Amino acid sequence: MSPIGSGTQYLCTVREAGYKDTRVRLQRVADAKFFSGWIVEMTGKDATIRLNDFETMEVGNIVVGEVSGRENRALIDAIVTKAVEDLVHFEFRRTPRYEVTRENSRTVVRNVSGTLNFQGEVVDVTVLDVSINGMGFLSYAPLPVGGTVKLSLETPHGPVKVSGEVRYCRSDTHRFGLYRAGALITEMGRLDKARWNKMNYLVESA
């Protein structure tokens, strides 16, 4: 294989690996409806995603949209070839176009939970996704937008404590009594930041 070919193959591998568990936003061409979800697996030819909020698509649907990867964003044009509940497989109708990302990528996380302290009240939370400077989570109590919260989280890389500002909070339509919220991180210690970066795949996991 020539040096140029080797370099091209390496770049594609980096791009594809950099999209797993990151967010995708799509629009169905037929009715202009918007969807969002998370990349389960992606190659240069196809992708499998898990849709949010139990939305569904049908085989044959054509969609366009973007995947916010860790290094670049990918603009895609695809057709649904398989759909089972919220798990959807696409084949790209043309090669994705890669551009410099315009926002911090969001990464889905699992097995990260803890507590949130707001004005002396302690609330259980489950983290759904993280970015370099924010997170989305489920809360067992409503939170006012603009409020300051302190979170103590248990992650696969060790405990993390952060402070943040609530950016949104709304009832979860599929989980009675739970609220889907997002926070912008405003304060984090040095060790906490190192562990946080591991959840964002910015450094090698221990």
The model's pLDDT over 144-174, given as tens digits with 9 standing for 90+, comes to: 999 999 999 999 889 999 999 999 999 987 7
Give yes or no for residue 187 having a pLDDT over 50: yes
User: Alpha-carbon distance 23 to 170, whole Å?
Assistant: 20
Predicted pLDDT at 6: 34
Contact 184, 134 (CB under 8 A): yes
Predicted pLDDT at 177: 84
46 contacts: CB under 8 Å, gap ≥ 6: 78, 81, 89, 90, 91, 92
Predicted pLDDT at 111: 87
User: Alpha-carbon distance 156 to 29, whole Å?
Assistant: 40
CATH fold of the domain at 3-100: Thrombin, subunit H (2.40.10)
Do the domains spanning 3-100 and 109-199 agree at the CATH topology level? yes
Mean pLDDT over all residues of the chain?
84
Domain ranges for the chain, please list them.
3-100, 109-199
> Which one-letter DSSP state was computed for residue 134?
E
Which pTM was predicted? 0.67
CATH fold of the domain at 109-199: Thrombin, subunit H (2.40.10)
Position 14 confidence tier, pLDDT thresholds 50, 70, 90: very low
Give yes or no for residue 200 having a pLDDT over 90: no
